[in-house]
């Protein structure tokens, strides 16, 4: 028995040779579409946060609604608006971790403080982001004290937060989730001293 030269994660794996390249191209197109959707929602939501910072709530609400109206994607099992808002939270926290000195837990102390001040999906997502750093410890450099604090405070959180996003989630429900995630993102920016 010979090993296949194609890796199991390759879309061509297990396909007849004549269909292998078609499977790869289909995967590339799908990835490009999903990436464009995510980039579009992050763009809208970044603008919404800027409008909130300028106290233009009406314009911010319009931008949030546009992101919430982006349709649920059954292949990706999520809506771009909620995924984009969650990505903003993740990037804020992971950037602080990566920029911190190895023996400086300030980033974590600030994040735990923000966690205590937010509620709803924003709070749930922040728990999963932080616990995810421990669950995926091969990808992140955490001190033992940081790991211990995260496990103690957020050890109950799953790697993927259940934010209530599904094929039957209404636009109004998505708006509520996105606003909560943006509230968490804005609180993080403020705590980290990133507000302009």
* pLDDT averaged over 10-residue windows placed end to end, the chain, 196 residues: 62 70 60 72 95 94 97 88 96 94 92 96 96 90 92 91 93 97 97 83
**What is the predicted pLDDT for the residue at 14?**
75
DSSP code, position 141: -
Whether residue 181 lies inside any domain: the answer is: yes
Whether residue 165 lies inside any domain: the answer is: yes
Question: CB–CB of 11/27 below 8 Å?
Answer: yes
**3-state class (DSSP) for residue 58:** helix
Question: Looking at the 3D structure of the chain, how many domains does it have?
Answer: 1
**What is the predicted pLDDT for the residue at 132?**
93
Whether residue 145 lies inside any domain: the answer is: yes
Whether residue 29 lies inside any domain: the answer is: yes
**What is the predicted pLDDT for the residue at 137?**
84
Residue showing tokens 């078609």: 22
**What is the predicted pLDDT for the residue at 33?**
61
DSSP code, position 74: T
Whether residue 114 lies inside any domain: the answer is: yes
The C-alpha torsion from 157 through 159 and 165 to 168, rounded to 10°, is -100
Whether residue 8 lies inside any domain: the answer is: no
- φ, ψ at 70 (rounded to 5°): -65, 130
**What is the predicted pLDDT for the residue at 23?**
61
Q: Which domain holds residue 181?
A: 17-191
Give the up-direction half-sphere exposure of residue 56: CA atoms within 13 A in the CB hemisphere.
Answer: 11
**What is the predicted pLDDT for the residue at 48?**
97
**What is the predicted pLDDT for the residue at 1?**
42
Whether residue 10 lies inside any domain: the answer is: no
**What is the predicted pLDDT for the residue at 6?**
72
The model carries a pTM of 0.82
């Amino acid at each position: 028995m010979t090993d296949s030269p194609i890796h199991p994660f390759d879309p061509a794996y297990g396909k007849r040779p004549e269909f292998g390249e078609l499977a790869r191209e289909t995967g590339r197109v799908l990835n490009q579409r999903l990436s464009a959707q995510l980039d579009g929602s992050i763009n809208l939501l970044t603008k919404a946060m800027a409008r909130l910072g300028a106290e233009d709530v009406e314009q911010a609400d319009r931008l949030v609604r546009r992101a919430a109206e982006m349709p649920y994607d059954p292949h990706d099992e999520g809506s771009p608006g909620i995924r984009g808002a969650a990505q903003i939270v993740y990037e804020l926290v992971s950037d602080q971790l990566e920029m911190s000195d190895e023996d400086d837990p300030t980033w974590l102390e600030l994040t735990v403080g923000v966690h205590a001040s937010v509620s709803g999906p924003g709070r749930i997502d922040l728990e999963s982001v932080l616990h995810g750093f421990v669950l995926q410890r091969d990808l992140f450099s955490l001190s033992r004290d940081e790991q211990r604090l995260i496990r103690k405070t957020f050890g109950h959180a799953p790697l993927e937060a259940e934010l209530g996003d599904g094929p039957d989630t209404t636009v109004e429900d998505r708006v509520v989730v996105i606003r909560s995630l943006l509230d968490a993102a804005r609180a993080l920016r403020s705590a980290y001293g990133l507000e302009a």
